[in-house]
Structure formats: structure tokens, C-alpha cells
Amino acid sequence: MSWTEEGSPYPRHPQVADETDEEAVEQLLEEVGTETEPRPVLTVEGLEARVAVVTGASSGIGRAVALDLARHGVHIGFNFLDDEEGRSRHEADEVAEEVESFGVRVFYQSCDIGLSQDVTRFVSKVEEELGGLHILVNNAGIGIDRALWRMSDEAWETVLRTNLSGAFYALRAVAPRFRAQEWGKIVNVASVHGIRSEFGLANYSASKAGIIALTQNAAIELGPSNVNVNAVAPGYIRTTQLTDRVPSEILDRARERSVLGRLGDPQDVAGVVTFLCSEAARHISGAVIPIDGGYLL
């Protein structure tokens, strides 16, 4: 999930002091940690020498997915989006170094996933640089949260273009290759909010619900070519993007709502994605797997 700080739709409780909030956020950031390598929770076989495109892998869930696939011998192509501060490029450089530490090859570049021609060129470049293409993980996404009566055209269109159109552009780019080789794995990162929305998430929820529908359609169309298409639906996952922007009381409420009583970790998502990309999941297609600690129950 992605969030924006400005114009948050979530009301702040008047009895929650700023100092208490700051302490809670600091504790959450410590929980996110500074691990340079995700904790392995799953080992599968048969992924060695495959090539994967992972969109939006410079941080958070995308980073964890790229590193977990690399740990299993997969060569990684990933994109990021340049920002004015250069932070995203710096993070991408660090992820590339970590990927290479597993003895696999990496290609990465800035690419706006919401621009059709950019995505087509990026996917072709990955195939050219890494010598093939077998896996696509559509992870890139953003959030601009507003009450719907305060949501601008730009906020609506930007989120839908990035989250939903971007996933379609990448899927369309890999489909001919996967059909020709009669093998491919596609995993789309949706969200629990594509299944059940909350206040202020009209654009985000619509985009993620669209991802789920796109996943099911692609599974039908690509299944005859031996291509598996599935989706994961993460709940509240501990990333710096989440803890920087979501009020602490919202995160506390998410913990309480989870039957496991905790937020998720990016590696919790990465392990399931790796499984879905492996032959252990060869007979699973069109599935949507919540990774939410029981949040939807």
C-alpha cells in the first residue's frame, strides 16, 4: 500500500498528543529495521537462470521481491522513477548491489510505469540485457488519498494510470514473449483495499480492484499458453513509506483488526510471490491471495 501525507482523509483523535505520535512512529520505524537482506522464509527450486521484471523495486515490497527472487538464482530487471532529490536512484543503486551479491545479473533504469511506450522499451531492454524473460511482478504503485468529494481529476487519473494502466502496459509487453515460449509467471500486487475499501481510498481501491479483474482476465487468456497469472493482496505492510505517512492510530487499529495482531513485513509478501513464480505453483492461476494477517476476516 502507498499513502500520501497531504490531505489525509483520516481524522486525528484530539486526545492523541503529537509527542505520543512521534514516539509511536519512531518505534514503528525501528520495527521496519535496516536489514540489508530480507529474512528467508521460503525456499523453492527450479528458478535458477530465469529472468524477472519487477516493477517499482527500489524500496518496500518490490525490493523484497527482487532480493528474494535473486536469492533463488533469478536475474533481475527492475525500474524506479527518478525524483528531484535523487533518493529513488540512490535506493535503486543499493538494491542493484544487493541483487548482484547473490551472483545473478541485474539491469535497472528509471521508467514511468504509467507511460505505455516507456514500459514497452523498458521490457525490451531487460530482455536484451539479461538474455530472456520469464517472470513479471507488477508491483509499482502509488496512493493519493482524499475523500472522494475532495479528490481532483489529477489525483484520480494519476493513481489509476500508475497502478492499473501501468500493470496492463507491462502485462501486454510480456504476453507475446510468454505465449511464444509457452511458459511464464505473472504476479500482480493488488491490495486488501481492492477487496474491501476504506474511507478516502476511492482511487486506490478502484485501481487495485481493477488489478484483480485484470489478473483473472489475463489468467483466462494466457492459460492456454502455459502462463500462470495470479495476484497477491497485501494488507498493512511495514515499510518506511507506510510508517512515514499513516497516522499511528490507524496502524494501531490495523494491528488490532488483524487476527495475528501484527503488521506484515515485506518478506511476508516476497515469499508468496516467489512461490507463485515457481513450478510448485504450476497449477494455480487466477488466484488472489490475501497477505494480511487475517485483516479481512
**pLDDT tens track for 127-164:** 999 999 999 999 999 999 899 999 999 999 999 999 99
Q: Above pLDDT 90, what percent of the chain? A: 70
To the nearest whole number, what is the mean pLDDT of the chain? 87
Give the C-alpha separation, 297 to 295, whole Å: 6
Active site residues: 204
Q: Is the pLDDT of residue 276 over 80?
A: yes
Residue given cell 496502524 in the structure block: 251
More confident of the two residues 228 and 200: 228
Q: Is the pLDDT of residue 243 over 60?
A: no
**Domains annotated on the chain, with CATH:** 19-291 (3.40.50.720)
Q: Is the pLDDT of residue 284 over 90?
A: yes
Give the C-alpha separation, 19 to 291, whole Å: 32
**pLDDT tens track for 36-88:** 444 545 678 889 999 999 999 999 999 999 999 999 999 999 999 988 888 99
Supply the pLDDT for residue 234.
96
Q: Is the pLDDT of residue 16 over 50?
A: no
**pLDDT tens track for 22-32:** 565 555 555 54
Supply the pLDDT for residue 195.
97
Give the C-alpha separation, 284 to 230, whole Å: 8
φ and ψ at 243, to 5 degrees? -75, -20
At 254, the pLDDT band (50, 70, 90 cuts) reads: confident
Q: pTM for this one?
A: 0.84
At 252, the pLDDT band (50, 70, 90 cuts) reads: confident
One-character DSSP codes across the chain: ----STT-SSPPPTTS-HHHHHHHHHHHHHHH---SSPPP----SS-TT-EEEETT-SSHHHHHHHHHHHHTT-EEEEEE---TTSHHHHHHHHHHHHHHTTT--EEEEE--TT-HHHHHHHHHHHHHHHT---EEEE-------B-GGG--HHHHHHHHIIIIIHHHHHHHHHHHHHHHHT-EEEEEE--GGGTS--TTBHHHHHHHHHHHHHHHHHHHHHGGGTEEEEEEEE-SB--HHHHHHS-HHHHHHHHHHSTTSS-B-HHHHHHHHHHHHSGGGTT--S-EEEESTTTT-
Residue given cell 486526545 in the structure block: 15
Question: Can you tell me the mean pLDDT for 208-235?
Answer: 98
